[in-house]
Structure 1
Amino acid sequence: MKQTEMASFSREEDNSHYQDAESENFLPEKNPGNKKYETEYHQGNASFGMSVFNLGNAIMGSGILGLSYAMANTGIALFVILLVAVAIFSLYSVHLLLKTANEGGALVYEQLGYKAFGMPGKLAASCSITMQNIGAMSSYLYIVKYELPIVIQALTGESGEWYTNGDYLVLLVSLVIILPLSLLRNLGYLGYTSGLSLLCMVFFLIVVIIKKFQIPCPLSDHIDAGNETFSKISNATVSPPNATAEDYNDACTPKYFVFNSQTVYAVPILTFAFVCHPAILPMYEELKNRSQRRMQGVANVSFLAMFVMYLLAALFGYLTFNVHVEPELLHTYSKVYKADIILLIVRLAVLTAVTLTVPVVLFPIRTSINQFLCASKFSWIRHTIITVALLAGTNILVIFVPTIRDIFGFIGASAAAMLIFILPSAFYIKLVKKESMKSVQKIGATLFLLCGFVVMIGSMSLIILDWVHNATEGHSDGH
């Protein structure tokens, strides 16, 4: 969705020493001012370029697969406006987070919450990060559910068997590959999968751009032989018996402003795609020649690079399929052809990356749960129970929630809104004492906080209304 795997291990170490850090008062008051955070900690060794790469990894994730769907339901112009707005808001929240870290003296998101509001603040931060990571895990397993059956069908030429059923495959992959890796005490070597994930997404973007010029519109002109799934879709939506030239032109003409029942998912999908905030502070600690301005520069370059990638992926995916793009873009290509060797390689690369990343994303959730259980000693029984429970719950979500759009939407409207808008501004208002509430900075942070509540409450309300509407329609159709 993604976002915190590069910082999981730093966060775990910081969390494990949380009580020690608190008791040592590692930022004494004799060093006041903005520089106290930057001078008290050990000097980092990560270069500017490597920090940009690491933060790009933290931002990039499965959220990129839902952006074309968001564009199809907002139109090109409205999507670009929303994308720019969310990117700017995310950068502003990074600014608030870095400044708050300097003043509050904390390396970990949860620790800032504790310093600002005590245990409720720590709980809010921990729950938001846990929900975000569960959303990321779910989105990764959705990719397994959607893509692995297509890969197996392409390799075996068979369909309809149990081993081409996405629900069974998710359970099998979780049991055979993800669970054993997640049970390991040290997952440090899996950190390399973050780099692999980014390379896979770059490869995916290149293929999306190329395929735009290979797949004509309407799609019915380019059907893969024997593609029964596409034939059903084609008969229902792409080429109905009474289709006219105007219908084809309308389906193939890009829209600039679109408003429909699915438009409400656009902002949550975008916020989900830009969340990286739990990874900011550990990366700040490891930055060479550390300063707030330098780390803000890292964030600016990373966000700009991801903004360009997101815009290109959304635009070319939308221009390829227009109104027929699905919530998960890569799966949409199965409408046209399943046996394309380049797409098969993309699917295998993405599947490998997301499967190996799930244990990394699970790691900080388990650490956070252990902290709240006040576990001072390692226990294999507790370790195993928490891991199995988290994986089982995530699998249930993936199997029973009908579409990845709902995961993107719900997590984006709740946890992502908390991490981007609400918590950074609330922590800033509480911990940065040297600025009065009447200062421009505090007024801006207050408005940002209110904006976060509007985004979260508004998006959640509209999404729930859409769920109720769809459930009511489905119930009516069933009778």
Structure 2
Amino acid sequence: RMNTDIFPNKATAARILKDRLRLKNFLTYKNWHIFHNFVGKTSFGMSIFNLSNAILGSGILGLAYAMANTGIILFVLLLTSMAILSAYSIHLLLKSAGVVGIRAYEQLGNRAFGRPGKILAASIITLNNIGGKIKYIINFISYSQRQKDMTTDKANYWFVDGRYLIIIISVLVILPLALMKRLGYLGYTSGFSLSCMVFFLISVIYKKFVTECPEEHSYNKTVPTESIYNSTDGMCEAKLITINPQTAFTIPIIAFAFVCHPEVLPIYTELKNPSKKRMQKVANISILTMFVMYLVTAIFGYLTFYGNVKSELLEMYSKKDTLMLCVRLAVLIAVTLTVPVVLFPIRRAVLQLLFPDKPFHWVRHISIAVCLLFLVNLLVIFVPNIRDIFGFIGATSAPSLIFILPGIFYICIVPEEQEPLKSRPKIQAIAFVTLGFIFMIMSITFIIIEWVTGKKTSGGH
């Protein structure tokens, strides 16, 4: 209670009281000590490796297909816009975290909306990242099955079956990495994963100069194409801007190419000498690196096969090509090493929901990792349509994590005294949230169309 008589007016007294209550809540916040007494030990470079690995996924294989259905200019504009929006989204997250001194996505939800917000944020992160894990594991199985088809004719050994292989890899590779106490320890494997994708990128560039466009095996000849700046319909000619029935369906592939937001705050927590500016640099460098890799892969993949390119770029290369056989193996390794990075935010979300006040304990740490891997492998092996189910979940969780939640957290957490609701930063955040809902509606609509028509209209996502 405060004596309002000593202040010039009641409004001033109320504002000071509100500020003191906010300070009191800040200092007594349950998990404040977890993040402010934690000494980060992960270097700047290792943080970049981890965040870049979190961004980079098998979706890179579908970007050449996206370019074929948008044209070079439109694709570059869309990819550049999404990279900038993703960096802005991370800025909103870091600004919100800086205001309240919390570096946990779930606790930002708690700060903004109480326990329902915490449950919502944790649930979205869990579903999105489990969906990502399922996607990586399904891709692993499909790639390993192709490797088997390419290297064996009649042999049917159990150890080259994708389902058995993923269990072996989960136990021998993924689980030991997932048991690491800190995400920063995965910087080395993330660096190796990125080097595998660099090998993939170099091979795609090389193949551009030694591969002729397979015009006789045209893939998209049944798709009517209207190019604004190119009058020719040649399937082996680059188009600057392309409008066809697939154009709208490829936009979500590009929109969600930079999903890494569940990993941002855990990486920030473990960053050595942490600051908002330093973490934003980590994010900007990671996004820029992935932007370059995405763009180069899309351009050279597209300029190799043009309108014939399939939704998964590696399917276009000869199955007897030794170099591309090695590239497929490199992609397998990269996909495998991405899974442990994706698992960390899921475990953190589970801990925040079920054990918010408990200190670190190895039994709990290991048990959650084992249960998650067991559940994901079980779903992949025994639920045939699980990818479609989590594709629908991803259509809602991805825009929520990139656009909607960071914007809403920013609007609710940053005090109006600091930035009024009608200020430019808050208006930008509101527009950002609106854009997220637009992308969500688009993605859900396209998935429903795919289900109704029974055809997969976009790939690599």
Paired position in structure 1 for 2:308: 324
Paired position in structure 1 for 2:396: 414
In the alignment, the residues of structure 1 paired with residue 338 and residue 428 of structure 2 have an alpha-carbon distance, to the nearest angstrom, of: 37
Counterpart contact for 2:106–2:352, Cα < 8 Å: no
CA-based RMSD of the aligned residues comes to 3.6
Paired position in structure 2 for 1:64: 60
Counterpart contact for 2:68–2:306, Cα < 8 Å: yes
Alpha-carbon offset, residue 356 of structure 1: 4.5
1:299 is matched by which residue type in structure 2?
A: A
Task: Classify 1:154/1:191 alpha carbon distance in 2 versus 1 (closer, same or farther; 3 Å).
Answer: same
Counterpart contact for 1:57–1:194, Cα < 8 Å: yes
Alpha-carbon offset, residue 171 of structure 1: 1.6
Task: Classify 1:113/1:294 alpha carbon distance in 2 versus 1 (closer, same or farther; 3 Å).
Answer: same
Task: Classify 1:236/1:255 alpha carbon distance in 2 versus 1 (closer, same or farther; 3 Å).
Answer: closer
Larger mean Cα displacement after TM superposition, 386-395 or 308-317: 386-395
Alpha-carbon offset, residue 348 of structure 1: 1.6
Task: Classify 1:211/1:320 alpha carbon distance in 2 versus 1 (closer, same or farther; 3 Å).
Answer: same
Task: Classify 1:97/1:360 alpha carbon distance in 2 versus 1 (closer, same or farther; 3 Å).
Answer: closer
Task: Classify 1:400/1:106 alpha carbon distance in 2 versus 1 (closer, same or farther; 3 Å).
Answer: same
Counterpart contact for 1:55–1:299, Cα < 8 Å: yes
Counterpart contact for 2:193–2:337, Cα < 8 Å: no
Task: Classify 1:138/1:320 alpha carbon distance in 2 versus 1 (closer, same or farther; 3 Å).
Answer: farther
List per-residue Cα deviations over 1:318-347 (Å, max 9, x = no partner).
Answer: 1112223222222332xxx11222112111
For 1:174, which of 163, 166, 182 is the aligned residue? 166
Alpha-carbon offset, residue 197 of structure 1: 1.4
In the alignment, the residues of structure 1 paired with residue 207 and residue 28 of structure 2 have an alpha-carbon distance, to the nearest angstrom, of: 53
Counterpart contact for 1:265–1:409, Cα < 8 Å: no
Task: Classify 1:106/1:381 alpha carbon distance in 2 versus 1 (closer, same or farther; 3 Å).
Answer: closer
In the alignment, the residues of structure 2 paired with residue 182 and residue 299 of structure 1 have an alpha-carbon distance, to the nearest angstrom, of: 25
Q: TM-score, normalised by structure 1?
A: 0.75
Paired position in structure 1 for 2:24: none
SS in 2 for 1:339: coil
In the alignment, the residues of structure 1 paired with residue 75 and residue 453 of structure 2 have an alpha-carbon distance, to the nearest angstrom, of: 24
Alpha-carbon offset, residue 453 of structure 1: 0.8
Larger mean Cα displacement after TM superposition, 195-204 or 317-326: 317-326
Task: Classify 1:370/1:101 alpha carbon distance in 2 versus 1 (closer, same or farther; 3 Å).
Answer: closer
Task: Classify 1:179/1:392 alpha carbon distance in 2 versus 1 (closer, same or farther; 3 Å).
Answer: farther
List per-residue Cα deviations over 1:267-305 (Å, max 9, x = no partner).
Answer: 321233201112222332333443322322222222112
In the alignment, the residues of structure 2 paired with residue 272 and residue 467 of structure 1 have an alpha-carbon distance, to the nearest angstrom, of: 20
List per-residue Cα deviations over 1:49-87 (Å, max 9, x = no partner).
Answer: 443333222222222112112112222222111101111
In the alignment, the residues of structure 1 paired with residue 369 and residue 391 of structure 2 have an alpha-carbon distance, to the nearest angstrom, of: 30
Larger mean Cα displacement after TM superposition, 71-80 or 281-290: 281-290
In the alignment, the residues of structure 1 paired with residue 144 and residue 445 of structure 2 have an alpha-carbon distance, to the nearest angstrom, of: 34
Paired position in structure 2 for 1:95: 91
In the alignment, the residues of structure 2 paired with residue 237 and residue 444 of structure 1 have an alpha-carbon distance, to the nearest angstrom, of: 40
Alpha-carbon offset, residue 96 of structure 1: 0.5
For 1:423, which of 405, 412, 427 is the aligned residue? 405
5+ residue gaps in structure 1?
1-19, 28-36, 221-233, 240-247, 474-479
Alpha-carbon offset, residue 408 of structure 1: 9.5
1:186 is matched by which residue type in structure 2?
A: L
Structure 2 residue 70 is the aligned partner of structure 1 residue 74: yes
- Residue correspondences, number: 412
Counterpart contact for 1:137–1:394, Cα < 8 Å: no
Counterpart contact for 1:264–1:459, Cα < 8 Å: no
Larger mean Cα displacement after TM superposition, 378-387 or 121-130: 378-387
Paired position in structure 1 for 2:385: 400
SS in 2 for 1:215: coil
For 1:198, which of 177, 194, 206 is the aligned residue? 194
Alpha-carbon offset, residue 456 of structure 1: 0.9
Task: Classify 1:368/1:182 alpha carbon distance in 2 versus 1 (closer, same or farther; 3 Å).
Answer: farther
In the alignment, the residues of structure 2 paired with residue 371 and residue 43 of structure 1 have an alpha-carbon distance, to the nearest angstrom, of: 20
Alpha-carbon offset, residue 132 of structure 1: 2.4
Task: Classify 1:92/1:207 alpha carbon distance in 2 versus 1 (closer, same or farther; 3 Å).
Answer: same
Identity %: 48
Counterpart contact for 1:51–1:298, Cα < 8 Å: yes
1:87 is matched by which residue type in structure 2?
A: A
